Amino acid sequence: MTNRLADTLSPYLRSHADNPVDWYPWGEAAFAEAQRRDVPLLISIGYSTCHWCHVMARESFSDPAIAALMNDGFVSVKIDREEHPEVDSAYMAAASAFTQNLGWPLTVFATPGGRAFYAGTYWPPDARPPMPAFRDVLAAVGEAWTLRRAQAEESADAVTDALARAAESVPADLPEGSAIAAAAESIAAREDRHHGGFGGEPKFPVATTLRFLQDPLVRQQAPVAAAAAQRALAAMAASPLRDADGGFFRYATRRDWSVPHYERMLTDNAQLLDVALDAGDEAVARGVAGFLLAALRRDEGGFGAGQDSESWIDGVRSEGGYYLRPVVERAGLEPPAVDGKVITGWNGLAIGALARAGSRFDESSWVAAAAAAATLVLRRNRDSRGALVRASLDGEASTAVATAADLGLLADGLFALAAATGEASWAVTARGILDEALAGVGGDPLLSANGIATAPDHTDGDLPSDAAAVAAAALTAWRLGAGDRYREAAAATVRALAVRALEQPFAHGSLLRVAAGLAAAPRQVVVVTFEPDGALARAAQRMEADVIAVATPTQAAAFADAGFELFEGKAATAERAYDCHAFVCRLPVSDAAELRISR
In tens, the pLDDT along 153-200 reads 888 888 777 777 766 667 889 999 999 999 999 999 999 999 999 998
Between 144-148, 279-283, 404-408, the lowest mean confidence (pLDDT) is in 144-148
pLDDT score, position 454: 72
Express each pLDDT in 264-291 by its tens digit.
Answer: 999 999 999 999 999 999 999 999 999 9
The pLDDT assigned to 308 comes to 95
**1 has pLDDT over 60:** no
310-324, 445-459, 581-595: least confident range: 445-459
On whether the CB atoms of residues 345 and 411 are closer than 8 A, the answer is no
Q: What is the mean pLDDT of residues 472-489?
A: 98
Task: Return the DSSP state at 590.
Answer: -
Q: CB–CB of 90/48 below 8 Å?
A: no
433-457 pLDDT tens trace: 999 999 998 888 999 898 887 767 7
- Cβ atoms of 180 and 515 within 8 Å: the answer is yes
Average pLDDT of 80-109? 91
Rg (CA), the chain: 24
| Three-state secondary structure of 249-286 | CCEECCCCCCCEECCEEHHHHHHHHHHHHHHCCHHHHH
Mean pLDDT of 413-434: 98
Tell me the C-alpha distance between 233 and 284, whole Å.
9
Q: Assign residue 115 a region: left if phi > 0, alpha if psi is -120 to 50, beta otherwise? A: beta
The residue ranking higher by pLDDT, 82 or 172, is 82
Answer yes or no: is pLDDT of 137 > 80: yes
Listed residue (6, 18, 127, 138) closest to 66, CA to CA:
138
Q: Does the pLDDT of residue 593 top 60, yes or no? A: yes
DSSP string, 207-257: HHHHHHHTSHHHHHH-HHHHHHHHHHHHHHHTSTTB-TTSPBPSEESSTTS
Residue 530 pLDDT more than 60? Answer: yes
> What is the predicted pLDDT for the residue at 413?
98
Residue 152 has pLDDT above 90, yes or no: no
Confidence of residue 84 (pLDDT cuts 50, 70, 90): very high
Do residues 335 and 253 lie in contact, with contact meaning Cβ atoms separated by under 8 Å?
A: no
Mean pLDDT check: name the lowest of 126-140, 229-243, 468-482, 546-560: 126-140
Return the percent helix, strand and coil in the chain, to nearest 5: 50, 15, 35
Characterise 124 by phi-psi region: left (phi > 0), alpha (psi -120 to 50), beta (else): beta
pLDDT exceeding 70 applies to what percent of the chain? 98
pLDDT at 163: 73
> Could you count the other beta carbons within 10 Å of the beta carbon of residue 171?
10
Closest CA relative to residue 508, chosen from 153, 179, 80, 23: 179
Residue 129 is predicted with a pLDDT of: 87
Q: Write the pLDDT tens digit of every residue in 216-229.
A: 999 999 999 999 99
Would you say the pTM of this structure is higher than 0.85?
yes
Q: What is the pLDDT of residue 374?
A: 98
CA angle in degrees (0–180, nearest 5) for 221-222-228:
150
Nearest in space to 359 (alpha carbons), one of 417, 280, 284: 417
Predicted confidence at residue 168, as pLDDT, reads 66
For the chain, how far is it from start to end, CA to CA, in angstroms?
65
Name the 3-class secondary structure at 378.
helix
CA nearest to 222, candidates 232, 212, 233:
212
The overall average pLDDT reported for the chain is 94
Q: What is the pLDDT of residue 304?
A: 98
Q: How far apart are CA 177 and CA 111, in angstroms?
A: 47
Using DSSP's 3-state secondary structure scheme, residue 28 falls into: helix
* CA separation for the pair 563, 477 (Å, rounded): 11
- In 450-586, which ranges are continuous DSSP H helix? 466-479, 484-503, 509-519, 535-540, 553-561
Residue 167 has what pLDDT? 62
Pairing of strands 338-339, 306-307: antiparallel
CB 522 within 8 A of CB 479: yes
Query: What is d(CA 377, CA 381) in angstroms, rounded to the nearest whole number?
Result: 5
For residue 27, the SS3 value is coil
Give the per-residue pLDDT at 101: 80
